[in-house]
Amino acid sequence: MKTALATVSISGTLREKMEAASKAGFQGIEIFENDLTQYSGSPSEVGKMAKDLGLEIIALQPFRDMEGNPRDIQKKRIEMLKRKMQVAHELGTNRLLMCSNVQAYASSDRDLCAADLRHLADIAAGEGLVLGYEALAWGKHIADYEDAWDLVKRTDHPNLGINLDTFHMFSRGNTLDCLRDEISVDKIALVQVADAPVMPRTDYLTYSRHSRCFPGQGDMPVVEFVQILKDKGFDDYLSHEIFNDEFRSSDPVAKAIDGMRSLIWLDDQTTPKHDIAVDNIEESASIKEVEFIEFAVEGDTGDELVKTLSQLGFAETHKHRSKNVSLMRQGEINLILNKEPKSQAHEYFQKHGVSVCALGFATDSVKHTLAVAEHYKAERFENQAGPGELNIPAIRGIGDSLVYFVNRDAGYRFFDVDFKPIDGVQGEQGVGLKRIDHIGQTVANVDFLSTGFFYKSLFGFDIQPSQDLPDIHGLVVSRTATNKDKSIRIPINMTNARSASAERFLTQTRGSGVQQIAFACDDIFTAAKNMGQEKVLAIPNNYYRDIEARFDLSEELIAKLKAHNILFDRNDQGEFFHFYTEQMHGVFFEVVQRVADYDNYGEANAFVRLAAQAEAEQDKA
C-alpha cells in the first residue's frame, strides 16, 4: 500500500509540514483546508511544491454538512463545493472528502440525503473528481460507518465512495463485519488510519480532537482493519489523519518519521513474514539485556556521581585503552564514565550536563538488530573507534541519547577489547548488587507515545498500559516497555504538571533522558548496611506506620525497614523491597529486591518517594 499524511497531523506551516512528510518518506499528502487557507501562496504553488517534494496531493479535506440540509442551506453548500472543486484542480488532486452532517437541522431522511449526495456526485463527475463520504462519530444521523455505507449504496454513483476512518469506526465500538462482508474495494474513496487509547465513549468530539495517535500507539484494532483491507485486495493509500495536541506542538520532522514508522509497522503486522523487507523480523525481540549504561561527565563534575556509585559498591575496574573513559562494575552491571573531549558524550554533556548519554543493549545479532532498526527509520550514529578497538554500532535513541548494540555471543565482553583492567581492583562483589533491574526514562509529554512505540517497533518490546503516579505537584503518567523475558524494563514517565518531578528533571537536564536506574540484589538489608545511609533518600515515619497496619508487618521487620529507609510492597505474586538515593544532576538510583514472582515496581509507594524527593530538593536549595 501507499503512504500518506494529512497536514493536520503535525505542526508547522504548510511548507514545513509538506517538507517533513517528504523527508519522512511519505508518498502522498492530504491538504487540510485550514492549512491551505492560512498559506500565503496559491493552490497552484502548493501543487508545484508537492510535486517538487515528490508528494502526490491525494485529497483536499474536510467538507462538512453536505447532505440533508434545508433547501436554502443546501443550495449554498452546493455553490461552496463548486468553488472548492476549482481549488482541487489547482492543487492537482482529484479527491474531496466530506463528513456526515452534525447540524441539529439535518434531516434523517436517507432518501433525501442520498439524492443530495447524488447531485454532488454528478457535479464531481463533470469535473473529473471523486467524493469520499465519511461518518463522523458525532454525526447527527450518520455516525457509524455502516450507516455511511448504506447512504453510499443508496446514492449509487461511480463518483461517490466511502471514506473509512478507523478512529470514527472504533471509537463507537463498530465491528468490522460490514467492511469484511459488504464494502467492495472499488467503493473505498480513501482510508485514514488512526489509533487512540480506550476511553469512555461520551464526548466523541473532544475524544477525537485531542486523543488520536499513530497506529500501534493506542488500543484500537487497527491491525485487524488493515488485514481485512489487504485480504480484499486494497492497495491504495493508507493515510494518517491525527488530531493530537502534543503532535501539533512537536517537531514536524520527528513526528512525521513517527508516522512513517507506524505505517511500516502496520504493514509488517499484516504481511506474511517471508515477504517483509527484513528477514525474520520477529526476531527483533532478540535484545537480551542492558550491557552498559554510559554517563557523560567532564572534569570533576562527576565527583558526586562517582562518590554515590562508590557507596553503592561500584569500583572503577577498567580504563579505556585510548580514550578518557573509565568503567565501574559490580556483579553484571557495567557503568561507563565518558570524559573524552572529542565524543558524542562530550556534546551531550555540553547540552545536558552530567547525565546518561547512552544505553548499550546486548543482542544475539547486531547485524539483524541494526537492519530492523533502520527498517523502522532509526537514524544510525557513526562511532569513531581507534585501531584494534570495537566499532560498536549505535542508533539515535530517546532525546539526544544513543543506543549501542553489542553482540553477547562473541565470546568476549566489550571491556575485554576496549579497556584495560586496573591492577588490584576487584569490583564484582561490591555491596551485593547483581544486575540492572530497570531504567526509568523521563520524556516530554509530546514524546510519551513515540518513546513507547520506539521500543515496541524497533525491539519488539511489550508496552504496558499507562498508570498515574500522584506527585505532590500533580500527576506523573507512567508506562513500561519490557523485552519478552523482562530482563530489560524501561518505565517511561511524563507529566503535564509544571512543577512535578518529571518536569523538574526535564528543566534541569534540558531534555528527555534517564532519570532513574534501579539495581537488583538478593539481600537488600545487607546491601543497605554495607553502603551506609549518607546518600539514601529519607522516608517519613508515617509511611512505616501505614504499611505496618496495611500489611500486618512485625515490629522487627518495621524496625529494619525504618533503619535503612527501605520501602515495602506485597501482592499475590510476592514481595518487593526497595530504597532510593537522593538525586544528583537530576538522576537517582534505586536498589530493589524481588521476592518470589513479584513483577511490579512498588508503584503504591511512588507518592511517598516523590514527596520525599521534593522535600530533599527543597532542603538542598
Residues 554 and 465 in one domain: yes
Residue 298 counted as an annotated binding residue:
no
Q: Is 427 within the bounds of a domain?
A: no
Residues 586 and 482 in one domain: yes
The rounded Cα 332 to chain-centroid distance in angstroms is 29
* Residues 6+ positions from 546 with CB-CB distance below 8 Å: none
The rounded Cα 401 to chain-centroid distance in angstroms is 15
| Last residue of one domain, picked from the residues 385, 401, 421 | 421
Cell 492543487, residue located: 91
Q: Is 553 within the bounds of a domain?
A: yes
Q: What is the pLDDT of residue 283?
A: 61
Q: Is 608 within the bounds of a domain?
A: yes
435-460 burial code (b ≥16 CB/10 A, e <16): ebbbbbbbbbbbbbbbbbbbbbbbbb
Q: Is 32 within the bounds of a domain?
A: yes
- Return the CA Rg of the chain: 28
* Edge-to-edge strand list for the sheet holding 333-338: 380-381, 394-396, 402-407, 355-363, 287-296, 333-338, 325-330, 315-320, 419-421
Q: Is 426 within the bounds of a domain?
A: no
Q: What is the pLDDT of residue 224?
A: 97
Q: What is the pLDDT of residue 207?
A: 66
| Nine cell digits for residue 466 | 499507562
Q: Is 50 within the bounds of a domain?
A: yes
Containing domain of residue 545, as a range?
A: 433-620
CA 404 – CA 155 distance, rounded (Å): 57
Q: Is 542 within the bounds of a domain?
A: yes
Domain count, the chain: 3
Q: What is the pLDDT of residue 272?
A: 83
pTM reported for the whole predicted model: 0.91
Residues 128 and 161 in one domain: yes
CATH, residue 161? 3.20.20.150
Residues 372 and 455 in one domain: no
Q: Is 428 within the bounds of a domain?
A: no
Residue 241 counted as an annotated binding residue:
yes
Residues 11 and 140 in one domain: yes
Residues 553 and 589 in one domain: yes
Are the CB atoms for 195 and 220 separated by under 8 Å?
yes
| Nine cell digits for residue 312 | 553503592
| Last residue of one domain, picked from the residues 271, 289, 318 | 271
Residues 170 and 317 in one domain: no
Q: What is the pLDDT of residue 412?
A: 84
Q: How far is CA 26 from CA 17, 22, 297, 465, 564, in A?
A: 11, 6, 39, 30, 56
Residues 265 and 308 in one domain: no
Q: What is the pLDDT of residue 284?
A: 56
Residues 56 and 116 in one domain: yes
For the chain of 621 residues, list the mean pLDDT of each consecutive stretch of 10. Answer: 96 97 98 96 98 98 96 97 98 97 97 98 98 96 97 98 96 95 97 86 68 91 97 97 85 95 95 73 75 96 93 94 94 96 94 97 91 93 74 94 90 90 77 96 94 94 92 95 95 95 95 97 94 91 97 97 97 97 95 97 96 89 66
Residues 150 and 205 in one domain: yes
Residues 286 and 261 in one domain: no
CATH, residue 451? 3.10.180.10
Q: What is the pLDDT of residue 383?
A: 77
Residues 385 and 288 in one domain: yes
Q: What is the pLDDT of residue 246?
A: 81
Closest CA to 270 of 307, 210, 302, 229: 229
| Last residue of one domain, picked from the residues 400, 421, 442 | 421
Tens of pLDDT along 98-153?
A: 999 999 999 999 999 999 999 999 999 999 999 999 999 999 999 999 999 999 99
